[in-house]
């Protein structure tokens, strides 16, 4: 795995937070790379030292993993990373069970579920970290989205053919106030188990919703340092105004 550890990190600050981006080449569509950039920038602004590891197929995961992100991709990208994901699956399941925060968007959300059956009928097994199952459809679900979630309103953009069903005990990430969400019928969007969040929202989701970014960073900071998250006050006025505009425009 490559790492962008700076030559002179300027001291340890409040501690290092090791962030793993799964499959940035194959699974990073609609600007999802922005989630990693947002996390790294906010981790630094909160006084911690971000260490970003890009995980490519065939590589080993780093020894320290405090936060894991994955993005969307085409069905073909999902087929390409499937074997590698199974190879590192036990470690990811252990990390998730230990409380490591993870954010999986769209295609990677589907692969963190039980299975993704493509529109051609090919079944890709998932990690089963989230109790969800997805079937591809001819008709795509596309458009802007507004959700109610535990971290308040969340805005974003969805574009998926996969229709996802939650298992009986599986909590969603949010409730759809505008858009289609998991399947366009039950009003749920994404899934959340402990510190693992799956969602269809691109945007990318984190720069558009800083409260969600800081929730993940807070969990990661506690995991990494053993101390409560000690955030700085950041100026998120631009993101807040953009989010409110989108909520007003779509719910009016």
**Binding annotation:** 140
Kindly tell me which of 50 and 203 has the beta carbon lying closer to ligand GLN: 203
ω into residue 26 within 30 of 0, thus cis? no
Q: Given candidates 14, 53, 160, 177, which one binds ligand GLN under the rule CB under 6 A?
A: 160
Widest CA span in the chain: 52
Rounded Cα distance, 92 and 98, in Å? 10
Please tell me whether residue 72 binds ligand GLN under the rule CB under 6 A: yes
In whole angstroms, what is the distance from residue 94 CA to residue 100 CA?
Answer: 9
In whole angstroms, the minimum distance from the beta carbon of 75 to ligand GLN comes to 4
Closest CB to ligand GLN belongs to which residue?
72
In the block, which residue shows the tokens 């260490």?
Answer: 51
Using the rule CB under 6 A, give the single segment among 66-74, 147-155, 177-185, 213-221 that binds ligand GLN: 66-74
- Confirm or reject binding of residue 107 to ligand GLN (CB under 6 A): yes
Establish if 159 lies at the interface with ligand GLN (CB under 6 A): yes
Instruction: Give whichever of 31 and 62 is closer to ligand GLN, judged by the CB atom.
Output: 31
CB of 37 to ligand GLN, least distance (A): 18
Q: State the residues that interact with ligand GLN by CB under 6 A.
A: 29, 72-75, 106-107, 136, 159-162
């Amino acid at each position: 795995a490559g790492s962008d550890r700076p030559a002179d990190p300027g001291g340890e600050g409040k501690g290092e937070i090791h962030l793993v981006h799964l499959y940035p080449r194959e699974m990073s569509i609609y600007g999802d790379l922005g989630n990693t950039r947002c996390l790294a920038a906010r981790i630094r602004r909160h006084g911690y030292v971000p260490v970003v590891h890009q995980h490519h197929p065939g590589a080993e995961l780093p020894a320290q993993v405090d936060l894991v992100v994955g993005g969307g991709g085409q069905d073909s990208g999902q087929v390409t990373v499937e074997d590698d994901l199974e190879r590192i699956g036990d470690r990811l399941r252990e990390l998730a069970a230990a409380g490591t925060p993870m954010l999986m968007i769209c295609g990677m959300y589907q692969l963190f579920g039980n299975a993704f059956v493509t529109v051609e009928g090919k079944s890709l097994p998932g990690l089963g970290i989230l109790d969800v199952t997805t079937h591809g459809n001819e008709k795509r679900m596309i458009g802007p989205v507004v959700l109610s979630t535990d971290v308040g309103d969340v805005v974003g953009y969805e574009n998926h053919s996969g229709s996802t069903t939650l298992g009986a005990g599986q909590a969603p990430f949010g409730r759809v106030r505008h858009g289609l969400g998991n399947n366009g019928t039950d009003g749920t969007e994404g899934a959340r188990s402990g510190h693992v969040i799956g969602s269809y929202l691109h945007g990318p989701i984190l720069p558009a919703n800083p409260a969600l970014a800081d929730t993940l960073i807070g969990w990661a900071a506690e995991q990494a340092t053993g101390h409560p998250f000690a955030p700085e006050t950041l100026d998120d006025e631009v993101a807040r105004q953009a989010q409110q505009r989108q909520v007003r425009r779509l719910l009016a």
